[in-house]
Structure 1
Amino acid sequence: MEGGQAMTPEEQDLVMGLVFVPGEGRTHTLDEVLAHFGESDGGVLALRLLRDAMERRDAGEVEMAVIVHAAAGASEQEFLEPLIELSRADWHTRHEDVVRLLGKLRSPRTVPALAEAARWVPEYLDWDENRALAVKALWALGAIPGAEAREALEGFRDDENEIIRESALKQLARRGEF
């Protein structure tokens, strides 16, 4: 796979082999994947795959990059800016995964993106009355230390949607700030 080119089905199968399947385990090792792509560092490969997927607006390959990232145990910090960008992109359907990864960072730099994700309902989630994306974003905000995250949560205390309002209040209570 050259930079910018789509992954072949064989390469996607190779990466999917990193996923642990109960009763089967993994069918490939990180070393096999790294060797195939000519990389020695899983975090570097994951970031390269993520940037290539974003350039091509390929949601399936965003998932491949996330799988390599998880298998490599790479630092989330390297993914911070691309993930913030992905949280706002309307060309994919992995917003809940992106919000979950942003939440794991616990970085104050993610607060604006998470607050935006809590308010935004992508077209493909229009049916979701439970507002799962918003709830995940609010949980992520609840885990971020500092005044900026608290203020973002407080901004949802009077939200017209009961699920969002209750989730924000739960997070403020969890933080001991309610």
Structure 2
Amino acid sequence: MTPEEQDLIMGLAFVPGMDRTRTLDEVLAHFGESDGGALALRLLRDSMERRDADDVEMALIVHGAADASAEEFLEPLIELFPAEWHREHEDIVSMLGTLRSPKTVPTLAKATHWVPEHLAWDENRALAVKAIWALGGTPGAQARAALVGLRDAENEIIRDNAVKQLARRGRL
């Protein structure tokens, strides 16, 4: 993706206190697409193939602006999550959490334990907390078991959030 295309897509990003500078229609027209979800998926797959962290971010911005269904993104997001070459781990976990799919449980469980290098500074473990909340909203015994396994975590933030999610699910 060219820097001009990245600037175009960045115009779709929501920044508190500022209006967006571009419309989805402008971005779609530039890329010759009529469907924002299809464009986002194409951009995501392309960025993964090229291992381009900036373009992963652009694809997720288009996805959000298009209010696209995350379901068709399930497999690429699961594949992309553990890669160290990008910085979108938290956004990926959030997107997977909206799916509430048992297929996401192994990835979400990994996110409760793994800290990507670019998030090593985060003592609040935001990635893990997002994953725990996503597990809390995911139906099924596998998600529950992942939460139960976190009840005795050494990290107090992880432990407390797991207990809260189990309570929310109605099962401690």
Which category of TM-score, normalised to the shorter sequence, fits these structures?
Answer: over 0.9
Name the TM-score, length of structure 1 as normaliser: 0.91
Following TM superposition, by how much is the alpha carbon of 1:17 offset from its aligned partner in structure 2, in angstroms? Answer: 1.3
User: Does the alignment pair 1:116 with 2:110?
Assistant: yes
Tell me the residue number matched to 2:34: 40
Amino acid at match of 2:147: L
Tell me the residue number matched to 1:3: none
Question: Which of 142, 145, 148 lines up with 1:151 in the alignment?
Answer: 145
Tell me the residue number matched to 2:10: 16
Amino acid at match of 1:127: W
Q: Deviations over 1:80-135 (max 9, x none)?
A: 11111121111112211111111111111100000011111122222322211111
Name the TM-score, length of structure 2 as normaliser: 0.94
User: Does the alignment pair 1:172 with 2:158?
Assistant: no
Structure 2 unmatched ranges of 5 or more = none
Tell me the residue number matched to 1:61: 55
| Structure 1 residue matching 2:59: 3-state secondary structure | helix
* Distance 1:42-1:175 versus aligned 2 partners, 3 A rule: same
User: Does the alignment pair 1:133 with 2:124?
Assistant: no
Separation of aligned partners in 2, 1:19 and 1:91? 22
Amino acid at match of 2:52: D
Tell me the residue number matched to 1:161: 155
* Distance 1:22-1:134 versus aligned 2 partners, 3 A rule: closer
Tell me the residue number matched to 2:87: 93
User: Does the alignment pair 1:27 with 2:21?
Assistant: yes
Separation of aligned partners in 2, 1:18 and 1:125? 25
Separation of aligned partners in 1, 2:126 and 2:142? 22
Instruction: Write out the 4+ residue segments of structure 1 that deviate beyond 6 Å after TM superposition.
Output: none
Q: How many residues align?
A: 172
Amino acid at match of 1:92: H
Separation of aligned partners in 1, 2:38 and 2:170? 38
Separation of aligned partners in 2, 1:112 and 1:19? 30
| RMSD, aligned CA | 1.3
Structure 1 unmatched ranges of 5 or more = 1-6
Give aligned-pair identity as a percent.
75
Separation of aligned partners in 2, 1:130 and 1:23? 26
Tell me the residue number matched to 1:103: 97
Separation of aligned partners in 2, 1:20 and 1:167? 28
Separation of aligned partners in 2, 1:161 and 1:20? 33
